Amino acid sequence: MTSMHNPCIPEAGKASETPKALALQGPPGIRALWELAGKSKPGMLQAASVLFVAAVFATAASWVMGSGIDAMVSRQWEDALVNCLVFLAFEALAVALQYLGRRRLAVVTTEVALDARMALIGKQAALPMSYFDQQPIGRILTRLTNDVEGIEGFFGGTLARMLIAVIQMITVFAGLLLVDLRFGGITILAALPALVLVFTLNAPVRHWLRIFKRRSAHVNSLFAELVSGIAVLRTYGLHDWAHGRLSSAVRDQFNAGMKVLHWNSIVRPAAVFFSAVPMGWVIFGGGSQVAAGSMTIGTLAVFLRLAERYGTPVRTITQEIQVIQEALSSGERVHEMLSVGNVEPASISNSDHEDDPSCENPEGHHVKLRAGINGAVSFREVHLSYGSGKPVLKNISFDVRPGERLGIVGRTGSGKTSLVSLIPGLYEPESGQVVIDGVPLAQWDKEYLRRQISFSTQDAILFRGTLRENLLGFPFPNTGTGGDFEDWKGVNSACQESGLAELMRVDRSGRFRLGLDSVVLADGENFSSGEKQIIALTRALVTRPRILILDEATASVDRKLEDQAMESIRRLLVDCTCFIIAHKYQTLAACDRILVIDAGRIVADMPSGSENEIRQRLQAIREPASELI
């Protein structure tokens, strides 16, 4: 049952770990996107350098063009030909370098989008359960889909165009000043209103885009909630009520979208107009100087070309501003999710807990215990509260021996599920300790520990696929390797013991006609509640856990199958410590002792017995048995 890992050698990096760069705290907006760039930053800087050189050659080509025109006007044909060839060479180099820079940038930015998506997926495994309790599923799905797509759109295309636009603008300004300091300076001043406009109107666009995104997430969350409860809505005739809620949310989303459209419709035409101001100045002021003989035609042509090249990036920025704002908003939200504190730090492997569990690896990290467990569980003055701050568990203390079967009974909402959820570390107690085999839960490698725990609830969770995948798709043997899990070979035996084989044999609906290869739809919706519970119990038997938690796991199963399942647990899981939440006397009769929970406190710890004996003992408590069971 014990592992063979060196106690102070870290395990290879896990897929669920968030990259260091992605975990950094940072302000919203641009820095959030920069943080998301992570390991791709050097590649982006390389691409930017290549694009900058390309822009320099393009700007130099404009200067060469002007020199060529002046040479032609003065009939210096050889100089004109040389300038023409140099112009073509510079343009060719600019195009080639721009291709290389864009290609490099495309590769790097695609990696950024992939890293962001993988970081979010990995983050889900590290977030505390309290996060999922407080966040609507629609909002989480929006982060994983819409927001990541917004980041992908930015890094996949907009970033390249924006980078090229900014570099082109810088080189244009430099070129204007180099050609003629005074006239170029005036031209730059004429170009500033367009930039001021774009950045001034940035605030309202971003404000309304944030609201639009937030309302979109609310619509997604509400829609998911209504669809999941469609049976209840139809049963109670609540169609009009649901339609009204969804219509109101969609209307708010639409209004925010119209505000975004309104501001964008102002910014874009205005920016295009003001970007033409430098061209107007060059035509008027430059033409006047050419007429006065203080400027050559070639120099005028250079200014015209550079003024035209300035207008292009301004128009690009205004066209991409909505994508930029969406990416900034998406980046903020994704960065916010990635910055949420993990339920635990990334674990490091350890061997048997006969070694010092507090030993450190060479880098100074505390080592998390990785070991096979015996199943001794202790609660020591445990208090638990959720987000509201109202205590759910109060001063809970008890001990469970390895292999003991502990029944837990109490009113709905008394804290039974909260209590057993602390054992695999799904929640962290506010105070006190949960101890497994004499080691506080905080010192265990949670992922490794959970491989030795099975948790089956009243609402059995099944995944889309086949029965075989739902029973065997969890490579969590006690050794942690998966390759030598001999119980996989005995899955048919587990089906016989749990009653699943009997369900398959008497099935007339066709749901089990393919045996273990029968199709399971999402959430097991093609099976009844009782059938799903039997499948979940079979899964628990197959994995041979050291700790088994059953939370009303047989509530929808008939007595014959339930008795068969409980007998299988007693026979096959002899050394398994069991926590059984139940409200049926026959289920509690299979336990060694029973805890009675009321209002988050233990009000009785009594031995088990026959069904009549349990009934009499519960009646002896202040609360009537009928209220507890």
pLDDT of residue 625: 46
What average pLDDT does the structure give for the chain?
76
Q: Give domain 377-628's CATH number out of 3.10.180.10, 3.40.50.300, 3.40.190.170, 3.40.1280.10.
A: 3.40.50.300
Is residue 483 scored above 70 in pLDDT?
A: no
pLDDT of residue 616: 83
Greater pLDDT, 393 or 116: 393
Choose the most confident range, by mean pLDDT, from 116-125, 429-438, 542-551: 429-438
**Do 343 and 444 touch, CB atoms closer than 8 A?**
no
Share of the chain above pLDDT 90, in %: 7
Query: pLDDT band at residue 484, thresholds of 50, 70 and 90?
Result: very low
Is residue 628 scored above 60 in pLDDT?
A: no
Rounded to the nearest 5 percent, the helix, strand and coil shares of the chain are 60, 10, 25
pLDDT of residue 137: 67
Q: What is the mean pLDDT of residues 93-116?
A: 82
Written as one string, the DSSP assignment of 522-567 is GGGTTS-HHHHHHHHHHHHHHH--SEEEEESTTTTS-HHHHHHHHH
> 572-594 pLDDT, tens per residue?
677 889 999 988 888 888 888 99
Lowest-confidence region among 41-50, 140-149, 232-241, 382-391: 140-149
**Do 161 and 248 touch, CB atoms closer than 8 A?**
no
CATH superfamily of this structure's domain 20-339: ABC transporter type 1, transmembrane domain (1.20.1560.10)
pLDDT of residue 419: 92
pLDDT of residue 579: 93
pLDDT of residue 13: 34
Is residue 256 scored above 80 in pLDDT?
A: yes
Rounded distance between C-alpha atoms, residue 447 and residue 346, angstroms: 10
Is residue 6 scored above 50 in pLDDT?
A: no
pLDDT of residue 322: 66
Written as one string, the DSSP assignment of 415-439 is SHHHHHHTTTTSS--SEEEEEETTE
Q: What is the mean pLDDT of residues 437-463?
A: 85
Two structure tokens written together for 412: 């709905």
pLDDT of residue 362: 41
pLDDT of residue 346: 40
Q: What is the mean pLDDT of residues 417-444?
A: 89
- Which contacts of 130-135 are long-range, i.e. CB under 8 A and separated by 24 or more positions? 130/386, 130/387, 130/427, 131/340, 133/386, 133/387, 134/387
Q: What is the mean pLDDT of residues 300-310?
A: 82
> 22-67 pLDDT, tens per residue?
333 334 556 667 777 767 778 878 888 888 888 888 878 877 877 7
Place of tokens 């006239």: 183
**Do 25 and 339 touch, CB atoms closer than 8 A?**
yes
Q: In which order are the strands placed within the sheet that holds 547-551?
A: 453-457, 547-551, 577-581, 405-410, 593-598, 601-607
Lowest-confidence region among 4-13, 449-458, 552-561: 4-13
pLDDT of residue 401: 92
pLDDT of residue 1: 35
Q: How far is CA 62 from CA 1, 57, 73, 379, 447, in A?
A: 76, 9, 17, 78, 63
Q: What is the mean pLDDT of residues 521-545?
A: 82
Name the residue type at position 589: A
pLDDT of residue 482: 40
Is residue 498 scored above 50 in pLDDT?
A: yes
Q: How many contiguous H segments (helices) and E segments (strands) does the chain have?
A: 24, 12
Query: pLDDT band at residue 14, thresholds of 50, 70 and 90?
Result: very low
Length of the chain equals 629
pTM across the whole model = 0.59
Rounded distance between C-alpha atoms, residue 302 and residue 310, angstroms: 12
Query: pLDDT band at residue 490, thresholds of 50, 70 and 90?
Result: low
Buried b (16+ CB within 10 A) or exposed e, 406-425: bbbbbbeebbbbbbbbbbbb
Query: pLDDT band at residue 487, thresholds of 50, 70 and 90?
Result: very low
Query: pLDDT band at residue 21, thresholds of 50, 70 and 90?
Result: very low
Share of the chain above pLDDT 70, in %: 83
459 by DSSP, 3-state: which?
Answer: coil
**Do 479 and 506 touch, CB atoms closer than 8 A?**
no
pLDDT of residue 251: 92
Give the start-to-end residue ranges of the domains of the chain: 20-339, 377-628
Is residue 348 scored above 60 in pLDDT?
A: no
